Amino acid sequence: MEKKQHFVRREFLPREVPSISLALLLAAVLLLNALLYLYLNKFYSSLGRVEPDPGLCPFGHFRFGAVKNCSPWLSCEAINREVRKLKCVGEGAVKKVFLSEWKEKKVVLSQLTNSELKEDFLHGLKMLKALQSKHVVRLLGYCEQQFTILTEYHPLGSLRGLNETLHIPKYKGMNTWHRRLMLAMDYVGVIRYLHSSPLGTLVMCDSNDLDKVLSQYLLTSDFHVLVNDLDALPLVNRSAGRLVKCGHRELRGEFVAPEQRWPYGEDVPFEDDLMPPYDEKTDIWKIPDVSNFFLGHVEGSDIVRLHLFDIHAACKKKDPAERPSAQEVLDTYRKVLTLLIREAAMPGTREML
């Protein structure tokens, strides 16, 4: 009888240890999932929100830097009296941009350079005023009579310089697949905001090539993406039968969507009146190319591309109606980020379970 009891102990005692280990592992997984949920939920709720950020000031006001109180947008008189130009930092077809100073703070002063494009300039100002949110550069003031706009300064500049910025020693720690994916999510979040804006469905028309797209967005010091240039932002209104055309010239190349290209072949000369209009799904077509730039060639970026393959293939559907919405793309990016962070945090968990 004693030998049988001894045999029972030898049979079951070794199985108790793996059971305890498995329970601890499951508890760790659950804890990790809870922490990931809290972190990502906070990030997602701010990223995906269409409504203006409650931290922003009331319409017609701004909060600058660490100042808690809101101030009215600067008027023509205040801009002329209090803003000092330092140097020209850029010039486009519509406006010239100056690094300036206001009350010992760096700001950006934009001025119209081509009087023939004043309607574009004023449209950009209208959009900037109406779309103030966490996705859009902060407006500080304007003067319609002098065609002048004052906005917040972001020292890291446009997204064209992203790779150079990430090679600066100070920012090398940001040069990871998950940080790059989060920047891509910021970008898609801006597109989603424009497609469901308070004004209706807006199309980002200044986007005929990758370099042009990147020049329209700013990189903030805390590594987020803001749209900066809203001069070419027409409205789609399906119920009224209103579609858009991005300019009056022929668009070429694989970067622009198929419906933006001349559909009648080389033998028929381009005529703007014959060019069919289109909708916001042109922005969706361009998302994979822009995201590919964001992801770069860091460790893990190819794995991210693999997980995004299906949604990016859907973005490249020839028929615009078959492409996903910006919200669907953003939802997929979120799921991929959650999955990959979980797998990176606990490699081998699936095999252990």
Q: Kindly state whether residue 241 falls inside one of the protein's structural domains.
A: yes
Q: Give the confidence band of 267 by pLDDT, cuts at 50, 70, 90.
A: very high
SS3 of 111, please?
A: strand
- One DSSP character per residue, 234-254 reads -EEBGGGTB-B-S-SS-B-SS
Q: Kindly state whether residue 231 falls inside one of the protein's structural domains.
A: yes
Contact status, residue 131 vs residue 170, Cβ threshold 8 Å = no
- The tokens for 308 are 């995004």
**What is the pLDDT, as a whole number, of residue 317?**
98
Q: Kindly state whether residue 218 falls inside one of the protein's structural domains.
A: yes
Is 227 found in the same domain as 169?
yes
Q: Kindly state whether residue 114 falls inside one of the protein's structural domains.
A: yes
**What is the pLDDT, as a whole number, of residue 238?**
86
Of 305, 298, 260, residue with least CA distance to 282:
260
Q: Give the confidence band of 16 by pLDDT, cuts at 50, 70, 90.
A: low
What is the mean predicted confidence (pLDDT) over 213-233? 95
For the chain, helix, strand, coil in percent to 5 are 50, 15, 35
Whether pLDDT at 320 is above 60: yes
**What is the pLDDT, as a whole number, of residue 342?**
87
Mean pLDDT, rounded, of the chain: 88
Encode pLDDT of 98-124 as tens digits.
999 999 999 999 999 988 999 999 999
Whether pLDDT at 28 is above 90: no
**Residue that terminates a domain, selected from 123, 153, 183:** 153
Give the contacts of 226 (CB within 8 A, at least 6 positions apart): 135, 136, 137, 154, 190, 217, 218, 220
Is 327 found in the same domain as 255?
yes
Contact status, residue 127 vs residue 115, Cβ threshold 8 Å = no
The pTM assigned to this predicted structure is 0.84
In the chain, DSSP assigns E strands to: 61-62, 71-72, 83-91, 95-102, 105-112, 139-143, 148-152, 201-202, 217-219, 225-227, 235-236
**Residue that terminates a domain, selected from 153, 168, 203:** 153
Is 162 found in the same domain as 85?
no
Spatial separation of the C-alpha atoms in residues 285 and 126, rounded to whole Å? 27
Range of the domain at 342: 154-346
**What is the pLDDT, as a whole number, of residue 49?**
40
**What is the pLDDT, as a whole number, of residue 345?**
74
- Count of CA atoms in the C-beta half-sphere (13 A) of 4: 1
- Count up the domains in the chain and report the number: 2
Is 269 found in the same domain as 167?
yes
Q: What pairing do the DSSP bridges indicate for beta strands 217-219 and 201-202?
A: unpaired
**What is the pLDDT, as a whole number, of residue 31?**
64
Give the CATH number, domain containing residue 340: 1.10.510.10
